[in-house]
A = this chain, B = another copy of it.
Amino acid sequence: MSIITLTTDFGIKDHFAGTVKGALLSEINEAEVVDISHNISPFSILEAAYVIQNAYKSFPNGSIHIIGVDSEISEENKHIVVQLNDHYFICANNGIMSMICAEINPQKIVEINIHDKISTSFPVLDVFVKVACHIARGGTLEIIGKLITDIKPIKNILPFVNDDKNQIIGNVIYIDNYGNVVTNIKQSFFEAIQKGRKFEISARHYKFKTVFSKYSDVVDFNSPEDKRFDEGKGLVVFNSSNYLEIAVYKSNSSTVGSATTLMGLNMRDTVSVNFIND
């Protein structure tokens, strides 16, 4: 059984996702098609990169991941397949893969070259489905593309560290369903710079001196329940994907508020960490 996942900005109302699933099942009727997300913000390479990076790892080796975001082919936006960590990623060469590739070297990259006869405004259907089924049937990448060595990077995706190594300046790269604000500062990166020092994290005028390992660590369970005031309290965690995240305990953007709504933190905003030398 081949697992083929879908990560797109198609949304869930239109026929696009259904059409793609139908085409995959028509070619390989025992395919296991799994939706990762169809709600990437339209054309958001950054969101797509974050979501696929965090989702793919839990799938079995050999899984094929179709990423349908900003995938219309042009002379500046070629189609590629990246084989990495024994998974296959089919997408446009628009930066989506650069977040994953910054951590793990690809085993192989090909630029897809089966387009000669295809002019399409629906490349996921007309190109990516064909490539996915080719791979699922055991076909080699060289048959559907030519080997390349580099992919297009996302600019400014890594946080900045000053020369004195006492400050990290990061950015918000994702806002999740709970309104939690995810930065591009990974735990391993943070700790490599930190070297055990105390620190202060700043986001707009909010300051934090602790990073929790789970959300409820903010709660003082020794206090009586009606004197805790923990719901709605801001906190910082390394999230389950190991990124530094500014969160609000039991948040809900539409009711009690969340890190994004209460603190006014949005995509690409700056979050900085100052380390304190004793």
Contact = CB atoms under 8 A, between A and B. Distances in A.
Counting chain B CB atoms within 10 Å of each CB, the highest count among A11, A22, A56, A216 belongs to A22
Interface stretch (A1-9, A131-139, A199-207): A1-9
A110 to B, nearest CB: 22
B55 A214 contact: no
Interface stretch (A117-125, A149-157, A188-196): A117-125
A43 interface: yes
A11 B50 CA distance: 16
B177 A13 contact: yes
Choose among A5, A30, A178, A237 the residue with the greatest number of B CB atoms under 10 Å from its CB.
A178
Given A19-B54, A214-B121, A215-B121, A40 B13 contact: yes
| Chain multiplicity (copies) | 3
B121 A237 contact: yes
A262 interface: no
Interface in A205-237: 213-216, 219, 221, 237
Interface stretch (A99-107, A246-254, A269-277): A246-254
B14 A77 contact: no
Interface string A32-73: 111111111111000100111011111110010000001011
Contact of A25 (B3, B16, B178): B3
B74 A216 contact: yes
Nearest to A124: B240
A26 interface: yes
Contacts of A72: 214-216
Given A221-B76, A240-B125, A42 B177 contact: yes
B56 A22 contact: yes
A212 to B, nearest CB: 8
A177 B75 CA distance: 25
A60 B176 contact: no
A42 B251 contact: yes
A21 interface: yes
A158 interface: no
Nearest to A5: B18
